[in-house]
Amino acid sequence: MSSSDFRQIAARTESGKAERLFRASVSAFCSLTRPSRREIGQLEDLTLPLFDHVSVESRRYVAAALSECEYAPAALVRRLCEEPVDIAAPLLIRSRAVSDIDLIALIGRHGLPHARAIARRKDLNPTIADLIRALERPTLVRVRDPETENPAEQAIAPVKAEAAASGTTKQQAPGIAAEDARHRLRSMMRTGDQALAAKVDAFSGADIYVKLRETALTGNAAFFQTALADVLDIDFSTARSLVASQNYASLLAALRSLDLSEDRAFLITVAVYPGQFPHPQAIRTFLDRYRLLHRDVALQRVRGWKAEPVPTPVSEAAAANSDSRKASTGDDTTRLRASSRK
């Protein structure tokens, strides 16, 4: 039975069914020692559409369960981290699925409640710890337009009026410390992902979209796989393996790394996986997953594909072996016929 079947069962029955399905699916997932990409994608497909229909208690239960899970699905974890801190706290404190960049963005969006939970993480990045200490000081407030600032700059904005008025070195220290923390945050966010982002951004976004869209709409898988390999700078075999998967999770990450808009990413995905979108709920699920997938995480996955190519699906490898055996048999038969004529 597919995840869409489970969702339909939950939708047709009382809300209690959705609650039990939401909890049971996460519990079953957490019992897996090393879940596959497909199983992670299936859990997201199942739980994200149910998210708005389950109680706070169920969300709190799932957050606590996933906080101990080494391979927690990133999209579901991020959705839970955006909840109030009484739900998100276990993930903010323990989850490995939340990166330093995610933590900074969460502090920027939710302020001190999330920051105080994040401060309890073991091995917390010292720069983030400095940021949280700066937030705790009453002399530091937000003074810039939040719509024009990035999450790191939203989180800290020193008020220097008191220090300027008094002229004392002691009162200037908080502003100087906060400015120093801001600089270190910027440096921390300039990680190896920026190199990959710069390479991707070297192409015109419109050119990338047109190239992928036109090759996807030809219906020739090899054309699209070649285009995908070109824009991501990965091996053709890796690109073929990404698209040969039974779900679109890998393609979604690839498109997100290219920073395509939701509508463009969806058009390409539905051209490659037309059977994955039989009803509007499937489209909403795709959009939820795409919005919740941070580009930094997608870039990291692309970098992982470069370092360790995605294994070819068993069915595809079997088909290739079968073709090679047929070709070999055909060659042997040709040689036998030629020798018999002699």
Does residue 166 share a domain with residue 259?
A: no
Cα separation, 3 vs 170, in Å, equals: 60
Report yes or no: 110 and 91 within 8 Å, Cβ to Cβ: no
User: Do 48 and 118 sit in the same domain of this protein?
Assistant: no
User: Which is higher by pLDDT, 237 or 324?
Assistant: 237
- Which residues lie below 8 Å from residue 327, measured CB to CB, with a gap of 6+? none
- Residue 11 burial (CB < 10 Å; 0-12/13-18/19+)? middle
Asked whether residue 70 falls in the same domain as residue 114, the answer is no
- And the tokens for 46? 């199942």
* Residue 62 in domain: yes
| Cβ–Cβ under 8 Å, residues 243 and 221 | yes
Mean pLDDT over residues 271-300, rounded? 87
Residue 89 has pLDDT above 90, yes or no: yes
**Domain termination residue (choose one: 98, 115, 130):** 98
> What would the mean pLDDT of 123-129 be, rounded to a whole number?
87
Percent of the chain with pLDDT over 90: 23
92 & 107 share domain: no
2-49 pLDDT, tens digit each: 455 445 544 444 557 888 999 999 999 999 988 888 888 889 888 999
Q: Are 76 and 102 in contact (CB under 8 A)?
A: no
> Is the backbone of residue 309 left (phi > 0), alpha (psi -120 to 50) or beta?
beta
Question: Which of 173, 190, 207 is the last residue in one of the domains?
Answer: 190
What pLDDT score does 262 carry? 87
Q: Determine which helix (DSSP H) or strand (DSSP E) holds 3, and give its type and residue range.
A: helix 3-12
pLDDT, average across residues 164-190: 50
Q: Please check whether residues 106 and 94 belong to one and the same domain.
A: no
Amino acid identity of residue 42, one-letter, is Q
Q: Are 77 and 95 in contact (CB under 8 A)?
A: yes
The answer to whether the CB of 197 falls within 8 A of the CB of 299 is yes
Residue at 336 is within a domain: no
pTM for this one? 0.49
Considering the domain architecture, whether residues 9 and 84 belong to the same structural domain is answered as: yes
304, pLDDT greater than 60? yes
- Residue 179 has a pLDDT of 57
Q: Is residue 342 part of a domain?
A: no
Phi and psi based region of residue 32 (left: phi greater than 0; alpha: psi -120 to 50; beta: remaining): beta
Assess whether 201 and 307 both reside in one domain: yes
* Type of residue at 185: L
As a whole number of angstroms, the distance between CA 239 and CA 222 comes to: 10
Beta carbons within 8 Å of 296's beta carbon, 6+ residues apart:
99, 101, 193
* pLDDT value, residue 117: 94
Distance CA(267)–CA(269), nearest Å, equals: 6
Residue 334 lies in a domain: no
Number of domains in the chain: 3
- Pair 30, 112 in one domain: no
Residue type, 7: R
Identify whether 332 is part of a domain: no
The residue that leads in pLDDT, 131 or 243, is 243
Query: Are the CB atoms for 214 and 224 separated by under 8 Å?
Result: no
Angle formed at CA 210 by CA 207 and CA 213, multiple of 5 degrees: 145
**pLDDT over 80 (residue 141):** no
Task: Say whether both 202 and 130 belong to one domain.
Answer: no
Q: What is the mean pLDDT of residues 46-71?
A: 92
Asked whether residue 32 falls in the same domain as residue 16, the answer is yes
Name the residue with higher pLDDT: 133 or 136: 133
The CA-based dihedral angle spanning residues 78, 36, 287, 280, taken in that order and rounded to the nearest 10 degrees: -130
Residue at a domain's end among 190, 209, 234: 190
Quickly state the pLDDT bin for 246 (edges 50, 70, 90).
Answer: confident
Judge if 29 and 73 occupy the same domain. yes
pLDDT value, residue 318? 43
Quick one: 170 and 207 in the same domain?
no
> Which residues constitute the domain of residue 79?
1-98
What confidence category does residue 228 fall into, taking pLDDT thresholds of 50, 70 and 90? Answer: very high
